[in-house]
């Protein structure tokens, strides 16, 4: 751009382009480059999104042409006990999973930050699960949870004399069992982000606080946590969206009976997947997608608002 | 929509260019990816092209999970296969979506189809028209581990012939540890596997009931017979403790690991069981006390795509006739291990006395075929029915009634459309 700016004045037979000011040219260039991602985004993101809103008002089943049925899909959805079951499950993943994973990640990051011995190695160990394919990990855990003779956890329980647990074969334990793997899988990422946040806090604050005689607890409460706020906000939103969209772990750990037993682990995304690609009920699936979209939007906005106001 | 049409136009343009000067007719055959099926079909196509040098068959495959979606999407784009493979249970959807066309009775006379194929071919008939023909069919049988039979003092060459004998064999072969956990199953219990077919089409009938009404639109198992059948099946776990749903994750995994003495599974499992490191055998599904037997059979059929016309239609008909011919069925049996769909090819002396294929073939003679409208959802109703008994202690009668209601809702939704 600068080379353009230093060129001598316009040639006598200047075209339209040359008559434009440098400022305008820059803007035009910027837009020229931006057009590509904008068209791309509009084409593969926004257009299908709006299409989904329209589809949710039809009875499209892939095969027959779609016909408009108004809000029937939503009426069916809200009177479907399965939907409410799935709704509860999804929020169970969110409400238990997000705080649990954040607290664990913060505690690990807080102490790991002080460890100097093999720091990089330990950090890598925590990060490793995040790099692993969710499907592969889910299958390993699925086998851990099996009954004897192959389940490692039940094998251990037996050697210490405790009764075997059904884990994935129980309507009460299956969801927590899957959530544990999801938390474990995302932990590495959250730890890294928390540690970056901790490192970004200027050490002078801590020095000043120590000179003033503040205890560790007070330092944590008055300095570390407030200054870590932007990191926490980011992780809360990021992890909430992750738990609201949980799919891989659940699907891979329960493929014989997806979301089972008795729908006790089924999240909304899995319900959408089954409605769309197993029952080919595209209109109904689109209605579920719109509901998920709304939930994601509301939850994210609420979190941003709550966490901002407390500052 | 517009971009899709444009893309389709582009694709069509390119394929037109690609065809260029080729004089011969090219038709497309579509099926899903499954190693041995693809290999067998490649061989059939090679044979067919040799006999018909003016026809080229393009073999197109898709992953199973995407397969139906691809067929539908191709139709929307105005493209599509000339000959297409489909599961018999998808027929209603394929016909309703106008993805396939009825077979011309001039080329495929009905009397011939009905006299030469196993009666289950009728699942391809709608309103007096046949829509497809199978190359191979599948049925169920009892797989049993001879080593475990011997260990339990049973004769490894005398598999159970009746349900009572099945229960006795399961009791003899099951192993428990000190705390009562199963360490090796007598028989696998898994509605999510093939057991839901066994229950629907075999056990319900053997206990004196019918799974569905004549036309398949009404659930009919919600009666005394259905309840007895359900109590028998779930009782294997709850009463007799000879099997446990979820043991070793899946029934077939337990059997392969040598930790289940018996399992009920289909022809398609023969390949993966072939390398089991122990001796195993196959037996006909056990009869009830009156000697009545039943079986469940299913198949993938080949049909002619809705868009085929003119000389392509003619070529497609020729190709379909070839891949449903006795010769093709023999190749399919050798390569894929699936049973021939024509009686004369299947029921030969050699096949019937084959210790592996024999029991499956015998099963075909009295097999039934469920008319599924949404197989995954209907299977789910069965899984949930039994899970409510196993995990929530629901009374079998209530579990059955609820399952019947759920499945009826699935049927109603389809037939009332």
Q: Would you kindly state where each structural domain of chain A is located, as residue ranges?
A: 2-55, 75-309
pLDDT of residue A61: 82
> Are B168 and B255 contained in the same domain?
yes
CA B234 to chain centre: 23
For residues A195 and A204, give the distance between their C-alpha atoms in angstroms, rounded to a whole number: 18
For residues A229 and A219, give the distance between their C-alpha atoms in angstroms, rounded to a whole number: 15
> Are B71 and B197 contained in the same domain?
no
How many structural domains is chain B composed of? 2
Asked if B392's CB is within 8 angstroms of A262's CB, the reply is yes
Q: What are the pLDDT digits (tens) for A121-132?
A: 988 888 888 888
Of the candidates B100, B82, B87, B199, the residue with the CA atom closest to the CA atom of residue B137: B87
pLDDT of residue B38: 92
- A54 to chain B, any CB pair closer than 8 A? The answer is no
Overall average pLDDT of the A249-264 stretch = 91
- A169 to chain B, any CB pair closer than 8 A? The answer is yes
Asked if A164's CB is within 8 angstroms of B249's CB, the reply is no
Assembly ipTM: 0.80
- Nearest chain A alpha carbon to B251: A256
- A255 to chain B, any CB pair closer than 8 A? The answer is no
> Are B201 and B325 contained in the same domain?
no
- Indicate the residue of A64, A256, A257 with minimum beta-carbon distance to B96: A64
Q: Model pTM greater than 0.80?
A: yes
- Indicate the residue of A143, A150, A257 with minimum beta-carbon distance to B383: A257
Residue numbers in B near A163 (CB within 8 A): 179
Asked if A256's CB is within 8 angstroms of B387's CB, the reply is no
Residue numbers in A near B192 (CB within 8 A): 256-257
> Are B223 and B335 contained in the same domain?
no
Determine whether B322 is exposed, middle or buried from the number of CB atoms within 10 Å of its CB (0-12, 13-18, 19+): middle
> Are B406 and B290 contained in the same domain?
yes
> Are B125 and B266 contained in the same domain?
no
> Are B293 and B323 contained in the same domain?
no
> Are B264 and B324 contained in the same domain?
no
Asked if B177's CB is within 8 angstroms of A256's CB, the reply is no
Residue numbers in A near B380 (CB within 8 A): 257
Residue B26's φ and ψ, nearest 5 degrees, are -115, 130
In A64-173, where does DSSP find H-type helix? Answer: 72-78, 81-112, 119-131, 134-144, 152-159
- Indicate the residue of B192, B248, B387 with minimum beta-carbon distance to A150: B248
**CATH, domain range A75-309:** 1.10.3720.10
In B117-250, where does DSSP find H-type helix? Answer: 146-151, 163-173, 196-197, 204-206, 224-238
Residue numbers in B near A279 (CB within 8 A): 374, 376-377
> Are B114 and B147 contained in the same domain?
no
> Are B254 and B340 contained in the same domain?
no
Domain span at residue B257? 139-297+373-415
> Are B393 and B281 contained in the same domain?
yes
pLDDT of residue B13: 47
Question: Could you list the pLDDT tens digit for every one of the 417 residues in chain B?
Answer: 445 555 555 444 444 444 443 457 999 999 999 888 899 999 999 999 999 999 999 999 999 878 888 888 888 788 889 999 999 988 888 888 889 999 999 999 999 999 999 988 988 999 899 999 999 999 999 999 999 999 999 999 999 999 999 999 999 999 998 878 899 999 999 999 999 999 999 999 999 999 999 888 999 999 999 999 999 999 999 999 999 998 988 899 999 999 999 999 998 888 788 888 999 999 999 999 999 999 999 999 999 999 898 999 999 999 999 999 999 999 998 888 889 999 999 999 999 999 999 999 999 889 999 988 888 899 999 999 999 999 999 999 999 999 999 999 999 988 887
> Are B272 and B380 contained in the same domain?
yes
Give the CATH number, domain containing residue B69.
3.40.190.10
Q: At what angle do helices A174-200 and A134-144 cross, to 10 degrees?
A: 130
Q: Which site among B72, B248, B251, B391 would you substitute to test the A interface, given the most A Cβ atoms closer than 10 Å to its Cβ?
A: B391
Q: Which site among A48, A60, A63 would you substitute to test the B interface, given the most B Cβ atoms closer than 10 Å to its Cβ?
A: A63
């Amino acid at each position: 751009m600068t080379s353009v700016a230093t060129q001598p004045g316009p040639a006598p037979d200047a075209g339209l382009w040359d008559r434009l000011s440098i400022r305008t040219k820059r803007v035009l260039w910027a837009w020229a480059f931006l057009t590509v991602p904008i068209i791309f985004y509009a084409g593969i993101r926004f257009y299908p999104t709006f299409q989904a809103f329209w589809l949710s008002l039809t009875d499209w089943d892939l095969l027959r042409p779609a016909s408009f049925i108004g809000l029937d899909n939503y009426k069916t959805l809200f009177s479907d006990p399965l939907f409410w079951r799935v709704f509860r499950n999804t929020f169970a993943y969110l409400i238990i999973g997000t705080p649990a994973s954040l607290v664990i990640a913060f505690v690990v990051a807080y102490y790991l930050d002080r460890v100097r011995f093999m720091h990089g190695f330990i950090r890598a160990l925590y990060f490793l699960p995040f790099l692993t394919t969710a499907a592969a990990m889910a299958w390993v855990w699925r086998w851990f949870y099996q009954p004897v003779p192959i389940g490692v956890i039940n094998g251990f329980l037996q050697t210490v004399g405790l009764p075997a647990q059904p884990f994935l074969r129980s309507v009460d334990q299956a969801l927590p069992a899957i959530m544990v793997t999801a938390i474990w899988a995302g932990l590495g990422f959250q730890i890294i982000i928390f540690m970056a946040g901790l490192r970004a806090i200027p050490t002078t604050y801590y020095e000043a606080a120590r000179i003033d005689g503040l205890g560790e607890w007070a330092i944590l409460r008055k300095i570390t946590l407030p200054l870590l706020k932007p990191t926490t906000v980011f992780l809360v939103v990021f992890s909430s969206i992750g738990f609201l969209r949980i799919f891989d772990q659940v699907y891979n750990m329960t493929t014989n009976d997806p979301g089972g037993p008795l729908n006790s682990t089924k999240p909304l995304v899995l319900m959408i997947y089954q409605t769309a690609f197993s029952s080919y009920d595209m209109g109904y699936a689109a209605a579920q997608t719109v509901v998920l979209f709304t939930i994601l939007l509301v939850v994210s906005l609420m979190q941003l608002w709550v966490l901002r106001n407390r500052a | 929509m517009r971009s899709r049409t444009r893309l389709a136009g582009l694709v069509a343009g390119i394929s037109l260019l690609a065809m260029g000067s080729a004089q011969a007719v090219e038709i497309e055959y579509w099926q899903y990816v499954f190693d041995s099926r693809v290999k067998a079909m490649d061989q059939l196509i090679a044979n067919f092209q040799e006999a018909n040098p003016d026809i080229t068959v393009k073999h197109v495959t898709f992953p199973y999970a995407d397969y139906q979606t691809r067929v539908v999407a191709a139709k929307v784009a105005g493209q599509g296969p000339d000959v297409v493979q489909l599961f018999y249970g998808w027929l209603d959807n394929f016909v309703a979506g106008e993805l396939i066309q009825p077979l011309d009775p001039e080329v495929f006379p009905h009397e011939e189809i009905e006299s030469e194929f196993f009666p289950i071919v009728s699942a391809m008939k709608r309103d007096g028209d046949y829509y497809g023909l199978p190359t191979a069919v599948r049925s169920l049988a009892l797989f049993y581990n001879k080593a475990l039979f011997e260990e339990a003092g049973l004769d490894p060459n005398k598999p159970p012939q009746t349900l009572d004998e099945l229960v006795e064999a399961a009791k003899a072969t099951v192993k428990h540890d000190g705390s009562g956990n199963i360490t090796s199953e007598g028989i696998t219990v898994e509605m999510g596997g093939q057991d839901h077919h066994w229950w629907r089409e075999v056990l319900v009938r053997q206990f004196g009931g019918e799974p569905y009404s004549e036309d398949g639109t009404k659930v009919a198992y919600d009666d005394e017979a259905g309840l007895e059948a359900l109590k028998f099946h779930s009782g294997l776990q709850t009463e007799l403790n000879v099997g446990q749903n979820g043991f070793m994750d899946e029934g077939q995994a337990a059997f392969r690991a040598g930790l289940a003495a018996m399992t009920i599974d289909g022809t398609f499992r023969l390949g993966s069981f072939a390398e089991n490191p122990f001796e195993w055998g196959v037996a006909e599904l056990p009869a009830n006390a009156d000697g009545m037997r039943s079986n469940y059979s299913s198949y993938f059929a080949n049909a002619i795509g809705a868009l085929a016309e003119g000389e392509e239609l003619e070529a497609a008909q020729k190709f379909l006739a070839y891949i449903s011919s006795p010769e093709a069925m023999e190749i399919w049996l050798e390569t894929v291990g699936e049973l021939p769909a024509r009686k004369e090819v299947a029921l030969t002396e050699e096949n019937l006395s084959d210790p592996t294929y024999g029991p499956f073939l015998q099963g075909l003679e009295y097999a039934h075929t469920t008319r599924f409208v949404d197989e995954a959802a209907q299977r789910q109703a069965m899984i949930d029915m039994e899970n409510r008994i196993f995990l929530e202690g629901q009374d079998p009668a209530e579990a059955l009634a609820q399952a019947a209601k759920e499945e009826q809702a699935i049927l109603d939704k389809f037939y009332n459309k």
